[in-house]
Amino acid sequence: MGKENQSHLLKHKMGVTREYFRKPNNIALIATFKGEINEDDLRDVLKKITKIHPLTGVRVVIDRDQDAWFTDEGVAPVPLKVIARRSERQCIDIVEKEHEIPFDFNKGPLIRFVLLKSEDVSDIIIICQHSICDGISLTILMQDTISLLNNPHTKIKKIDTVFPTTNNFRVPFRVKLELLNHKFIMSIINRKWNNQPVIFDDEDYKNLHEAYFQKFRYRIINLNLSEEETTNLIVRCRENQVTVNSAISVALLAGRENIRGNSVRDDSTVQIAVNIRDQLKRPAENVFGFLASGIKIEFEYLPDTTFWDNVRLFHQKVTLELKDNIALENLMGYDTNPTLTDAINFAIYGKCVFNGFNGQKNY
């Protein structure tokens, strides 16, 4: 599991993940097990998890220049809620409610666990702030948690954190030119912003978070495929030379088209998450961190043609966008003034929840 754990403090600038700072943007993962999980055993495992994956035990500090830094100094242990399991749907209800609870960036940690336990079935739920991890990282974390529960005497080793900075990736020349161009443009924008910056703090974040969830309710629609349905889906995707991700994405777009009908037409831009671990200079298969990016394509579901024709078209557009490691261009946000990044987030979410929001903390 990586290098031996060393007793030194972690400190690293948030960089591009500042985009998720003070923002109601969490991700979650649920794993269901047969039998009862002992809560004391799980608490012991969570102590080990923090030693293996340093970002599970960090908070955020702001320096005098308003830069945000991850640090593991003075962070409380990973919290664990233990709840009696009473129904199959209960874990979904808990995730919905957990999304309404803001993380305390100043105190940390930026992750929490919930154990739903009964004698017959148990669920482990992980809720994590998006600034420290991606979806693959949550699966890695869950796998390590299960492994340590099953093998409590396993010798643990720290896995070095890899941050989404350009020096950690194999960046093509074309993207390097885009980075230089972006840096020049952002230097001009940053200078203008610095003439009259607007600083948002933790109190603003808490007010925004509370207002957002008073107006919007986070809901999960759970759809399970049987083993036979899953196998059939994979076979059909291979026959059509597309990925399962493309098929599921188009199925969701088809569902949206069916709900909205032809009367509603808005922006046809579709954003897709992209795993960028394979573009790192060094392997990072087992690293817990934010190692994801995204691409945007223009796509509208065509109801007059077949579903698989739509999937093939979607897949072609995604494949074209992924050429030349274009997903790495999202690392360009690293040059944005951090307080400007905060202001953009507050403007986006503020307009959703506050009447007359003008970006000048007038809400």
Residue 361 has pLDDT above 70, yes or no: no
Quote the domain boundaries for residue 299: 173-353
Residue 5 has pLDDT above 60, yes or no: no
Q: Are residues 203 and 346 in the same domain?
A: yes
Average confidence score pLDDT of the chain: 89
Q: Are residues 306 and 240 in the same domain?
A: yes
- Write the pLDDT tens digit of every residue in 64-117: 989 999 999 999 999 999 999 999 899 999 999 999 999 999 999 999 999 999
73 domain-assigned: yes
258 domain-assigned: yes
Q: Are residues 142 and 243 in the same domain?
A: no
Query: In 3D, which of 142, 138, 119 has the Cα closest to residue 129?
Result: 138
Q: Are residues 112 and 222 in the same domain?
A: no
- Write the pLDDT tens digit of every residue in 245-259: 999 999 999 888 777
Question: How confident is residue 260, by pLDDT bands cut at 50, 70 and 90?
Answer: confident
- Write the pLDDT tens digit of every residue in 327-358: 888 887 888 999 999 999 888 887 777 665 55
**Distance between CA atoms of residues 307 and 246, nearest Å:** 11
Segment holding 322, helix H or strand E: helix 307-322
Question: How confident is residue 52, by pLDDT bands cut at 50, 70 and 90?
Answer: very high
197 domain-assigned: yes
For 166, list phi and psi in degrees, rounded to 5: -60, -30
pLDDT at 2: 43
269 domain-assigned: yes
Terminal CA-CA length for the chain: 48
Residue 49 has pLDDT above 90, yes or no: yes
pLDDT at 355: 63
Q: Are residues 233 and 141 in the same domain?
A: no
- Specify which residues 275 forms β-bridges with: 292
Question: How confident is residue 1, by pLDDT bands cut at 50, 70 and 90?
Answer: very low
- Specify which residues 6 forms β-bridges with: none
Here the CATH number for the domain that contains residue 128 is 3.30.559.10
pTM of the full structure: 0.88
Tokens of 347: 């403007």
Here the CATH number for the domain that contains residue 297 is 3.30.559
Whether the CB-CB separation of 158 and 54 falls below 8 Å is answered with yes
